[in-house]
Amino acid sequence: MMVPALTLSFPSVSTPTLAPRELETLRHIASGCTYLQTARHMGLSRHTVDAYLRRIRAKLDTNTTAELIRLAIALGL
């Protein structure tokens, strides 16, 4: 299943675009999956999920997974 890219606007950040796999990762984490569960659902290693989340945090200028989840929920992901 192809997931469309997500474009977000934040006043302090240029408009970041999440790649489809980054968006899928964020959705899993926001739904309550652990890194390992997310990796298993996506057919990835836990380290790859961690790398995706580091990239997502950098793009969205967040520091913690809790901030990412809050943002994902606010966006309806």
Q: Residue 11 carries which side chain, given as an amino acid letter?
A: P
What is the rounded average pLDDT of the residues 50-75? 89
Predicted local confidence at residue 13, as pLDDT: 41
What is the rounded average pLDDT of the residues 1-21? 58
d(C-alpha 25, C-alpha 19), whole Å: 10
pLDDT in tens, 14-56: 446 889 999 999 999 999 999 999 999 999 999 999 999 999 9
Tokens of 14: 């240029």
Predicted local confidence at residue 12, as pLDDT: 44
Rg (CA), the chain: 12
Tokens of 30: 């926001």
Banded pLDDT at 10 (limits 50, 70, 90): very low
